[in-house]
Amino acid sequence: MQQGICRELKPGIRIENEAIVVNPYEGCDYNCAYCRFRSSRYPVKPHPFIAKHLEEVLQENPDLPVIIGAETEPLGPSEVKQGLTLRCMEVLKDQARPYTILTKSDLIAIPKYLSQAYYAEFNQIRPHSHPQIFVPGLLCRSPNLFFYPYGL
């Protein structure tokens, strides 16, 4: 069996299995029983320079896909105060880079976040660069939002 390759590039950003993985926060605000990053064990630590670091990493790796929130919740209560995930989404929008965001937060439905997710519909440079947003437990009718009920 081949092992995945993981390389930490900047705090909160790494390359893993041919993808740029972005975690704007270390730890998690939630206390999900199934998660190893429970808030009781890992208090949230923001990566304040993640948007600047993401710009650098994107320039160095122009062809790799981007995943936001592969380890911890990118849109938890800390996001309301810090706004780091939103800044990462803005960087990706500015560079017309497609990305996948993994979240179970309803914060993604707030207009300032949704406007970042739908930029590609009007983009002439990369017309198929729609971000994908995976929201477990949230029913959506958009082609860019996918419904995955808990328990799958």
Domain that residue 51 falls in: 6-148
The pTM assigned to this predicted structure is: 0.75
Neighbouring C-beta atoms of residue 23, cutoff 10 Å: 25
Top pLDDT among 12 and 31 is at: 12
> Is 1 a domain residue?
no
In three-state secondary structure terms, 14 is strand
Lowest mean pLDDT among 21-35, 54-68, 104-118, 121-135: 121-135
Instruction: Read off the pLDDT of residues 34-68 as tens digits, 9 standing for 90 and up.
Output: 776 666 566 789 999 999 999 999 999 988 989 99
In three-state secondary structure terms, 108 is helix
> Is 103 a domain residue?
yes
Q: How many structural domains are present in the chain?
A: 1
> Is 14 a domain residue?
yes
